[in-house]
Structure 1
């Protein structure tokens, strides 16, 4: 993927003349994707695992996608190995998958159901520790797909995809514009609150300065929007911690 960073500026120039909707759901309408590539992903979760594609604003990486996945290996228990590092009940740490090259649209369309990958603790492109190779990553479900276009403006407010499993909750920032950010945080719903919808809206502008931060509390209004509050007793959501955040357009450099 590092070679891909070099070609990013040229790709952005090409994309600027090809603006479409930011929520394209039909990967087969992307004919420029004609070659396999390494599509890195962030892995997170507990008994249930999720993978978030690390995008770039260039072909063939210009898709934000979330997957529900399982791990299989011929000679090792990949899930148990993951859990020896990510112990149950501890704050989520950062893990990444470095797949062997494949066609991303085929995965998004369900034409392929799995891919081979190596598992790293940390970022495989930035001094991550290799844990296991030749893992079969099986996609149980494609949860979210958004096509990224360089000419799209940022959304008026922050949007996050919401994921919950067995007492753990995660929010994944919806990427909307070129200089946006890719962030995943662990959160806790408190005071008997529950996520009202699968995509949450926060009453802040969609930019890096407004990203969610550990220790913040948010109240939930009748319309389902969240606003920061200093009163825990009135809050519906607590941000436990951030374990992944990179900045666009190539989503390689960390947010801080």
Structure 2
């Protein structure tokens, strides 16, 4: 299997392009989804060049790869390791911002079953993905000690309001924080675009806490939780 470089590597910001700091580096991303479609979430940190939470809908240019990825993610959904990741070739993350004058909507990625830095297995290389819709482009502050909000805000992701499978992504604010993404199964009613819960005393809400504010019979399963990279 070809070696995969560390997510933490990559050049630091080299300057400004208008109001968009350059974020050139190797930007690994969580890949998740269901039969309804696929999403990616950049694995963020509170240091350059990775200080942005970026979440978007995507599709593979090759429909056969799209079908195989969806099949693989669905097969992993109820396992002890539901994580899949993609690793784009080195690029400037700020170019995914829809407000950037040189905004891009395609990436070339390797697809890894598991976390690409933590024993994941390469599945496909050099695949083209289309960025179909940016759901969140959230620059993260570099400062420490900023006052945090009293609530966590979970962004709801779906393709259609009546999708039976949907996802919640904890919206990051300032360090320390929690990159927390969960899968919702058996969704029986449209959900609010943002689910708000009290944050105290933790940086994220447990699956049981999330379940308590969702429609009855909704199953909540953790896909990803990262605390160490966001201290």
Which structure 2 residues correspond to residues 113-124 of structure 1 after superposition, within 5 A? Answer: 113-124=105-116
**Matches of 1:153 and 1:215, distance apart in 2:** 23
Extract structure 1 runs of 4+ deviating beyond 4 A: 5-8
Preserved CA contact (<8 Å) 2:73 2:84: no
CA distance in 2, matches of 1:87, 1:189: 14
**1:198-213, aligned counterparts within 5 Å?**
198-205=193-200, 207-208=202-203, 210-213=204-207
1:77 match: secondary structure = helix
Closer, same or farther in 2 for the Cα pair 1:96/1:169, shift >3 Å? same
| Distance apart, 1:119 and its partner CA | 0.4
- The CA deviation string for residues 162-201 of structure 1, in whole angstroms up to 9 with x for no partner, is 01243111000111121111011012466x54312x1210
Q: Provide the TM-score with structure 1 as the length reference.
A: 0.72
Greater gyration radius: 1
- TM-score in terms of structure 2 length: 0.79
Contact 2:7–2:28 (CA under 8 A) maintained in structure 1: no
2:224 pairs with one of 234, 244, 250:
244
How many residue pairs get aligned? The number is 213
In structure 1, what is the Cα distance between the partners aligned to 2:120 and 2:7? 18
Q: 1:29 to 1:216 in 2, by over 3 A?
A: closer
Q: Tell me the residue number matched to 1:2.
A: 6
In structure 2, the residue matched to 1:29 is 19
Deviates more, 1:144-153 or 1:79-88: 79-88
**Aligned equivalent of 1:42:** 30
Distance 1:103 1:6, change over 3 A: closer
Cross-structure match for 1:170: 167
Q: Does 1:127 align with 2:116?
A: no
Q: Give 1:91 deviation, angstroms.
A: 3.7
Q: Is the 8 A contact 1:43 1:97 kept in 2?
A: yes
Unaligned runs of 5+ in 1: 12-26, 221-234
Q: In structure 1, the residue corresponding to 2:157 is in which secondary structure? A: strand
Partner in structure 2 of residue 180 of structure 1: 177
Matched with 1:84 is 71
Could you tell me how far apart the structure 1 residues matched to 2:139 and 2:219 are? 27
Partner deviation per Cα, 1:43-83 (whole Å, 9 max, x = no partner): 1112311111111111121111111100124xx82112213
Question: CA RMSD of the aligned region, Å?
Answer: 3.2
Distance in 2 between the 1:238 and 1:153 partners? 33
